[in-house]
Structure 1
Amino acid sequence: MEMSGFVFLTLVSVGVLLGSSEAQEDFSKLPDDYKKGVELGVQQINSHHGIKSHFIFFKSLSKSEIDGGFGVKYIYHHFNLKATRCPKGTSDANPTKCAFRNDRPLIDCGLCYKMHNGKIQNEPKPYVHCLHKPQLTQALVSARVERCDKMSYANGSPTLLAARKPQ
């Protein structure tokens, strides 16, 4: 397997490899609380029976969070996933091992979830909304935003999507 991976990498063009490593760099620069949300989205997409390729993080589009105090944060993260040339189920898939495919649409994900002391909480249930970009409509985006705004917050707190962007 390692030999075939090596041969595959030597055949990958420099442009694709550079573009892929830039996306992976972006993931490595995400705060841990956002990485955990991306991992939740990737897990959901890669477990879907209709998905054949392995998907990984491509880029963040927007992030926001509310500090609820006492180690609690409410997080919203909007990002894209991109198909790789590795089959679904590949472990340790990263752009240097699994080059991005440019012949598949991106998957647009919007996640909102509650973190407590660095762990995603089960209540309220994390909301993971991921769709292939061509299927994403303005109505679905509006429903996503509305759903995230309705997460359980203390009275008087702002909506998640109006919150500050992390530093």
Structure 2
Amino acid sequence: MAVLLWVVLLSAGVSLSQAQESFSKLPDIYKKGVELALRAINAHHASKDHFLFLKSIHQAEIEAGFDVVYIYHNFYLKATKCKRGTENADTTTCAFRNDRPLIDCAICYKTYAGATEEEPKPYVSCVHKPALTQDMKKDRIEHCNKMGYSSGSPTLLAVIS
């Protein structure tokens, strides 16, 4: 039943098709999650390149009431020609590389009054796109569902009489 909730949210979520949507066009609530993923990827010891947001795949949110919102965001990151750790990088100073695979990231987290909550801990899953399997995608959704249920959040299914 929990998986069904996220399937409904994902199918109802926004599917963006623009080839190079800029980070600045994202709503603030989604920018926070992308920033979490970027910090994790750009700090990873094996990464030599600096990564930037490329585009959103799916966005979904559940308004749980009392200014609590659960966010799910699936997006691509792409390597740039800048070295890891480059400060204040953007697409004008760090051009995208076309010789590296995209990073497919899915993140889910809870916000309260627009701020990201530390509990439950935000979930970040970033994988090179060619290595991403259907099982991994399913595991992401299940993890995000459990996060929402562990906090006692309402579901779309609970609203149906």
- TM class by shorter chain equals 0.7 to 0.9
Unaligned runs of 5+ in 1: 1-21, 160-167
Unaligned runs of 5+ in 2: 1-18
Please state whether the residue corresponding to 1:98 is helix, strand or coil. Answer: coil
Structure 2 residue aligned with 1:67: 63
CA distance in 2, matches of 1:79, 1:61: 5
Root mean square deviation, CA, Å:
1.5
CA distance in 2, matches of 1:76, 1:36: 12
Mapping of residues 28-107 of structure 1, within 5 Å: 28-107=24-103
Count residues in correspondence: 137
Distance 1:89 1:156, change over 3 A: closer
Mapping of residues 85-164 of structure 1, within 5 Å: 85-151=81-147, 152-154=150-152, 156-158=154-156
* Amino acid corresponding to residue 156 of structure 2 in structure 1: P
CA distance in 2, matches of 1:81, 1:156: 31
* Amino acid corresponding to residue 133 of structure 1 in structure 2: K
Structure 1 residue aligned with 2:4: none
CA distance in 2, matches of 1:126, 1:136: 20
Distance 1:155 1:48, change over 3 A: closer
- List 4+ stretches of structure 1 deviating above 3 A: none
**Fraction of identical pairs, as percent:** 57
Please state whether the residue corresponding to 2:144 is helix, strand or coil. Answer: helix
Distance 1:156 1:33, change over 3 A: closer
CA distance in 2, matches of 1:89, 1:155: 37
TM-score normalised by length of structure 2: 0.81
Structure 2 residue aligned with 1:19: none
Shift of 1:153: 4.0
- Work out which of the two has the higher radius of gyration on C-alpha atoms and give 1 or 2: 1
* Amino acid corresponding to residue 102 of structure 1 in structure 2: N
Distance 1:158 1:96, change over 3 A: same
* Amino acid corresponding to residue 57 of structure 2 in structure 1: L
